[in-house]
């Protein structure tokens, strides 16, 4: 039997072995706890590009949190996600979209890595990175460099077909003239592309991006096989303005076999008929359209472009078609002979066709020599009296507009009576006040100030614009200043709008009024204006006085229907905002439900303001027939798509 010493040694030995084993196990556990995440991270990182979607999802879930601290993991994730985003597997692209969106939101270093790679990547890597960024919703960030957008669209153009390619070419137009140099070659190719829809998109984008420098490409499209493309090409060739290519193009399309193309050609000639770029040969072809074309709409449109005075008078007297006669009357230019004036007088006094009468009044409203006054004044007064009795306010307003050109001191009393006694018929009162202002610059402007409180849509804005354009000597500043302090909210709002417009047009600063307005539109101010329409007018005044921060708030109030469209569009148009006519012409869904483009441009006379602010814009005539008005609105839409990208 072992002695005590031996037993003790055995116990100690066993204890040391147990302790060693225990410490080893503890150490192993601790090492395992430390190494396990590292091992798991690297394990799952190797599984990221597996073909098994379930395993790939598990690997992404395990690895994503490590992207915050591990650069190698960020690089690995970017390579894998870019590959997945470019695949044809819907599950893979969805996984790439979700993972990349999480990384862009939570890992700024990943965002920086992607942006750096986009700047430096080659032509093979860039499309994959761009597609990943697009899928994750990061591509449309405001800071996205133009060069990257051009590079992506160019890649897509060369790697798509059919409607997808047409969509790419259409998307190029959003880049505007700043991309002209880089996109001219793709657009040149697209204008001659096989699918008609690609060529159509290219014609539109050429006009927007290249402008007059793309006239040669639009002229090439004049001979396109598809009539819709030929029509679009000639319309946009007119929209970009006079170029050396317009006359040869018109000589071709004025004889096109398709009625719609000839109609567009006649309109193009009417837009450019005063330009030296349009030759007498072209105008001779236009005369032939008016007298010989077998389609009545083409003949009516050609009437707008005819310069031949005797031909116009002959058509006015002999044609049985209302639009043709009306448009011939619109094309009449002074000086008019005695026989011409007598013809106008007969039409104004006795013509039963409404649009012929209003067109004749339009012709009479153009400045002419003094003998015209005596010939036309009495017929206009006679027609005015009948229109007022019949409560035909549009016709009465047209008569009053014409009276401003042929009236004299003997009509001042009549105009003053109409302006003061018919305030419940605001368009009549406005026309009378404007006519009186042109004849008597002292008596008319104070009557305009009264109309600033009119609740009728469009009247307040047009009145404010009329007042703002008056010369300093005729501006009723005392009356406007008093109106700007009036307890009448509508009058105060209109007066502030007129004063701010005047300061903008006169290029004068008004720091005191700007500070007053800012105090009433600032939510932190104790004078904050809670009434939305009034605050909207204050914001329009701020914008006109130089505070650009008011623009998004004006757009918000307009979208909410809390600010009259004519008021908001007036302030934005005068200050050359890119969004001024977007709601009315590009995205009508953002307009108030009761207001469509024709209501704003024709019924509220906003087309008059556009013509005054943007003389190169296609006109929208409130005194012409509805078919022409619809056509003019469409052409204004074409023109605005080109012009808007040259604004701020």
**Comparison of pLDDT for 45 and 450, the residue scoring more:** 450
Q: How far is it, in rounded angstroms, from Cα 147 to Cα 135?
A: 19
- Which range has the worst mean pLDDT, 43-52, 91-100, 226-235? 43-52
Q: What is the pLDDT of residues 81-112, one digit of tens each?
A: 999 998 888 999 999 999 999 999 999 999 99
What's the whole-number mean pLDDT along residues 56-85? 88
Q: Measured at the alpha carbon of residue 109, what is the angle toward residues 106 and 110, in degrees to the nearest 5?
A: 75
Give the model's pLDDT for residue 41.
Answer: 59
Buried b (16+ CB within 10 A) or exposed e, 60-98: bebbbebbeebeebbebbbbbbbebbbeeeeebbebbbb
Contacts of 366 (CB under 8 A, 6+ apart): 332, 333, 334, 405
Q: How far is it, in rounded angstroms, from Cα 600 to Cα 296?
A: 29
What's the whole-number mean pLDDT along residues 346-355? 95
User: Using 50, 70 and 90 to split pLDDT, how confident is the model at 60?
Assistant: confident
Joined tokens for residue 160: 């798509």
Secondary structure, 3-state, 22-43: HHHHHHHHHHHHHHHHHHHHHH
- For residues 71, 72, 76, 78, the Cα torsion angle rounded to the nearest 10 degrees is 20
What's the whole-number mean pLDDT along residues 236-260? 92
DSSP at 590:
G
Q: How far is it, in rounded angstroms, from Cα 406 to Cα 377?
A: 6
To the nearest whole percent, how much of the chain has pLDDT over 70?
92
Q: How far is it, in rounded angstroms, from Cα 274 to Cα 281?
A: 14
Q: Does residue 37 surpass a pLDDT of 60?
A: no
CA distance between the termini of the chain: 106
Give the model's pLDDT for residue 366.
Answer: 82
Q: Does residue 132 surpass a pLDDT of 60?
A: yes
- Which range has the worst mean pLDDT, 60-64, 262-266, 442-446, 548-552? 60-64
**Residue from 438, 435, 407, 405 nearest 334 by CA:** 405
**Comparison of pLDDT for 19 and 48, the residue scoring more:** 48
**Mean pLDDT of the residues in the chain:** 89
User: Using 50, 70 and 90 to split pLDDT, how confident is the model at 49?
Assistant: confident
What's the whole-number mean pLDDT along residues 68-93? 90
Q: How far is it, in rounded angstroms, from Cα 78 to Cα 130?
A: 12
Q: Does residue 59 surpass a pLDDT of 80?
A: yes
Q: Does residue 238 surpass a pLDDT of 50?
A: yes
Q: How far is it, in rounded angstroms, from Cα 133 to Cα 108?
A: 14
Q: How far is it, in rounded angstroms, from Cα 399 to Cα 382?
A: 9
173 preceded by cis ω (within 30°)? no
Backbone angles phi, psi at 623, to 5 degrees: -100, 5
User: Using 50, 70 and 90 to split pLDDT, how confident is the model at 1?
Assistant: low
Give the model's pLDDT for residue 374.
Answer: 73
Give the model's pLDDT for residue 278.
Answer: 73
pTM for the model stands at 0.87
Give the model's pLDDT for residue 454.
Answer: 92
Q: What is the pLDDT of residues 168-214, one digit of tens each?
A: 999 999 999 999 999 999 999 999 999 999 999 999 999 999 999 99
Give the model's pLDDT for residue 406.
Answer: 80
**Residue from 399, 391, 393 nearest 415 by CA:** 399
**Comparison of pLDDT for 435 and 588, the residue scoring more:** 435
Q: How far is it, in rounded angstroms, from Cα 239 to Cα 637?
A: 10
Q: What is the pLDDT of residues 304-334, one digit of tens each?
A: 999 999 999 999 999 999 999 999 999 998 8
User: Using 50, 70 and 90 to split pLDDT, how confident is the model at 14?
Assistant: confident
Q: Does residue 404 surpass a pLDDT of 80?
A: yes
Joined tokens for residue 398: 């047209």
Q: How far is it, in rounded angstroms, from Cα 482 to Cα 162?
A: 64
- In this structure, are residues 594 and 629 in contact, taking their beta carbons and an 8 Å threshold? no
Which DSSP string do the residues of 209-237 spell out, in sequence order?
A: HTGGGGHHHHHHHTT-SSHHHHHHHHHHH
User: What would you report as the CA-atom Rg of the chain, rounded to the nearest whole angstrom?
Assistant: 36
User: Using 50, 70 and 90 to split pLDDT, how confident is the model at 17?
Assistant: confident
- In this structure, are residues 205 and 179 in contact, taking their beta carbons and an 8 Å threshold? no
Give the model's pLDDT for residue 4.
Answer: 65
Q: Does residue 35 surpass a pLDDT of 70?
A: no
Q: How far is it, in rounded angstroms, from Cα 172 to Cα 182?
A: 11
Q: Measured at the alpha carbon of residue 33, what is the angle toward residues 32 and 36, in degrees to the nearest 5?
A: 70
Q: Does residue 34 surpass a pLDDT of 50?
A: no
Q: Does residue 595 surpass a pLDDT of 60?
A: yes
Which DSSP string do the residues of 47-107 spell out, in sequence order?
A: TTT-S-HHHHHHHHHHHGGGGGT-HHHHHHHHHHHHHHHTSS-HHHHHHHHHHHHHHHHH-
């Amino acid at each position: 039997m072992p002695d005590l010493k031996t037993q003790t040694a055995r116990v100690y030995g066993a204890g040391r072995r147990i302790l060693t084993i225990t410490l080893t196990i503890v150490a192993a556990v601790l090492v395992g706890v430390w190494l396990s995440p590292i091992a798991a991270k690297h394990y799952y990182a190797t599984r990221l590009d597996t073909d098994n979607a379930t395993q790939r999802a598990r690997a992404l879930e395990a690895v994503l949190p490590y992207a915050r601290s591990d650069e190698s993991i960020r690089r690995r994730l970017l390579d894998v996600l870019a590959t997945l985003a470019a695949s044809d597997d819907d599950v893979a692209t969805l996984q790439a979209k979700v993972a990349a969106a999480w990384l862009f939101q939570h890992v700024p270093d990943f965002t920086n890595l992607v942006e750096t790679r986009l700047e430096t990547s080659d032509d093979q890597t860039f499309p994959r990175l761009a597609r990943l960024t697009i899928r994750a919703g990061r591509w449309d960030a405001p800071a996205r460099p133009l060069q990257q957008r051009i590079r992506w669209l160019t890649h897509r153009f060369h790697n798509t077909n059919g409607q997808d390619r047409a969509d790419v070419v259409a998307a190029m137009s959003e880049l505007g003239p700043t991309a002209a140099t880089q996109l001219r070659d793709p657009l040149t190719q697209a204008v001659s592309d096989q699918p008609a829809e690609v060529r159509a998109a290219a014609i539109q984008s050429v006009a927007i991006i290249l402008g007059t420098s793309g006239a040669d490409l639009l002229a090439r499209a004049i001979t396109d096989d598809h009539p819709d493309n030929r029509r679009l090409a000639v319309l946009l060739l007119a929209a970009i303005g006079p170029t050396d290519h317009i006359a040869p193009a018109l000589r071709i399309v004025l004889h096109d076999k398709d009625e719609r193309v000839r109609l567009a050609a006649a309109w193009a000639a009417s837009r450019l008929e005063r330009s030296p770029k349009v030759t007498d040969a072209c105008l001779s072809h236009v005369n032939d359209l008016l007298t010989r074309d077998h389609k009545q709409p083409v003949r009516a449109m050609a009437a707008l472009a005819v310069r031949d005075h005797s031909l116009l008078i002959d058509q006015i007297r002999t044609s049985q078609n209302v639009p043709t006669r009306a448009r011939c009357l619109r094309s009449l230019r002074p000086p008019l002979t005695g026989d011409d004036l007598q013809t106008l007088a007969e039409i104004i006094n006795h013509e039963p066709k409404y649009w012929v009468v209003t067109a004749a009044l339009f012709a009479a409203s153009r400045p002419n020599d003094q003998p015209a006054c005596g010939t036309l004044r009495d017929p206009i007064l006679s027609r005015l009296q009948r229109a007022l009795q019949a409560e035909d306010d549009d016709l009465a307003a047209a008569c009053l507009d014409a009276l401003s050109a042929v009236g004299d001191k003997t009509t001042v009393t009549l105009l003053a009576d109409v302006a003061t006694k018919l305030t419940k018929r605001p368009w009549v009162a406005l026309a009378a006040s404007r006519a009186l202002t042109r004849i008597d610059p002292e008596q008319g402007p104070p009557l305009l100030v009264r109309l600033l409180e009119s609740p009728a849509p469009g009247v307040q804005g047009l009145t404010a614009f009329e007042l703002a354009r008056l010369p300093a000597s005729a501006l009723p500043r005392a009356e406007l200043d008093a109106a700007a302090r009036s307890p009448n909210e509508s009058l105060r709002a209109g007066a502030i709008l007129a004063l701010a417009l005047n300061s903008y047009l006169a290029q004068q600063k008004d720091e005191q009024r700007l500070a007053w307005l800012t105090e009433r539109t600032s939510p932190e101010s104790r004078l904050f204006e809670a009434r939305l329409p009034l605050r909207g007018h204050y914001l329009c005044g701020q914008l006109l006085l130089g505070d650009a921060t008011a623009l998004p708030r004006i757009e918000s109030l307009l979208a909410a229907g809390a600010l009259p469209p004519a008021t908001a569009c007036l302030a934005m148009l005068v200050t050359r905002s890119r969004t001024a006519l977007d709601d009315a012409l590009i995205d009508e869904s953002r307009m108030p439900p009761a207001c469509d483009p024709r209501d704003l441009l024709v019924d509220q006379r906003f087309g008059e303001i556009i013509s005054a602010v943007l003389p190169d814009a296609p006109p929208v005539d409130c005194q012409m027939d509805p078919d022409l008005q619809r056509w003019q609105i469409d052409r204004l839409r074409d023109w605005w798509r080109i012009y808007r990208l040259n604004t701020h």
